[in-house]
Amino acid sequence: MPRRAHNDERRETLNRDRVLRTAMAVADERGIETLTMRELAGRLGIEAASLYNHVSGKDDLLAGMADLVIAEIDLPSEDSGWREAMRRRAMSARELFERHGWAAALIDTRMQAQPSGLAYADRVLGTLLRVGLSPAVAGNAFLVLDSYIYGYERQRTILSRDDGGDSTDTAQEVGDAIPPGAFPALAAVAAAYAKQPFDEDAGFAFGLELLLDGIERLLPTG
**Contact predicate 215/141, CB 8 Å:** yes
* Domains along the chain with CATH numbers: 2-55 (1.10.10.60), 70-162+200-216 (1.10.357.10)
Mean of pLDDT over the chain: 87
Question: In angstroms, what CA-CA distances link 26 with 13, 29, 64, 104, 173?
Answer: 19, 5, 14, 16, 34
* Residue 88 binned pLDDT confidence (cut-offs 50, 70, 90): very high
pLDDT reading at 4 higher than 50: no
- Which pLDDT tens digit goes with each residue over 169-213? 888 888 899 999 999 999 999 898 888 878 888 999 999 999 999
pLDDT tens string 26-55: 999 999 999 999 999 999 999 989 999 999
pLDDT at 198: 80
Tell me how far apart the alpha carbons of residues 81 and 45 are, in angstroms, rounded to a whole number.
Answer: 48
* Residues 204 and 94: beta-carbon distance below 8 Å: yes
Backbone dihedral region of 181: left (phi > 0), alpha (psi from -120 to 50 degrees) or beta?
Answer: left
Backbone angles phi, psi at 50, to 5 degrees: -70, -25
**pLDDT score at 2:** 44
**Residues above pLDDT 70, as percent of the chain:** 88
Which residues lie closer than 8 Å to 132 by C-beta, 6 or more apart? Answer: 219, 220
